[in-house]
Amino acid sequence: MVSPEIEFAVDDLETPALTKAQLADLLFEQIGLNKRESKDMVDAFFDLVSESLVRGEDVKISGFGNFQIRTKAPRPGRNPRTGEAIPIRARRVVTFHASHKLKEQIQGESS
């Protein structure tokens, strides 16, 4: 089955950010899933992405971008209020790199 194009404009959104609830509403309105199925599908998608990242696996979404786990080394830091030196522990962070396709779409929108 070919998925229909989901179209929406950022101007249509009540907030400047696209929320999980809004994604579920779009699935309900444009694909025809019921509201519970829509919410469950969005939650399942984000749970899958989160679980993969927690396991240290990269997440690649074709035409959108890559989420990667990066380990940052410990380093010296300082408290900006007091100037006191404090150690910053090693930690894992998530980085996102947009695909070329997404970058081209963004550049096309701003031209």
Domain identity same for 63 and 104 = yes
Tokens coding 60: 């690649």
User: CA-to-CA distance for 75 and 87, rounded, in angstroms?
Assistant: 6
Which residue type, as a one-letter code, is found at position 98? A
Cα–Cα–Cα angle for 63, 67, 73, rounded to 5 degrees: 150
Task: Return the pLDDT at 33.
Answer: 87
Which residue type, as a one-letter code, is found at position 87? P
Tokens coding 101: 């396709």
Domain identity same for 65 and 98 = yes
Domain identity same for 78 and 98 = yes
> What does pTM read for this prediction?
0.72
**Residue 66 falls inside a structural domain:** yes
- The domain of 29 spans 16-57
**Residue 10 falls inside a structural domain:** no
Q: Tell me the pLDDT of the chain (111 aa) as tens digits.
A: 444 455 555 555 556 788 999 999 999 999 888 999 999 999 999 999 999 999 999 999 999 999 999 999 999 999 999 999 999 999 999 999 999 999 999 998 655
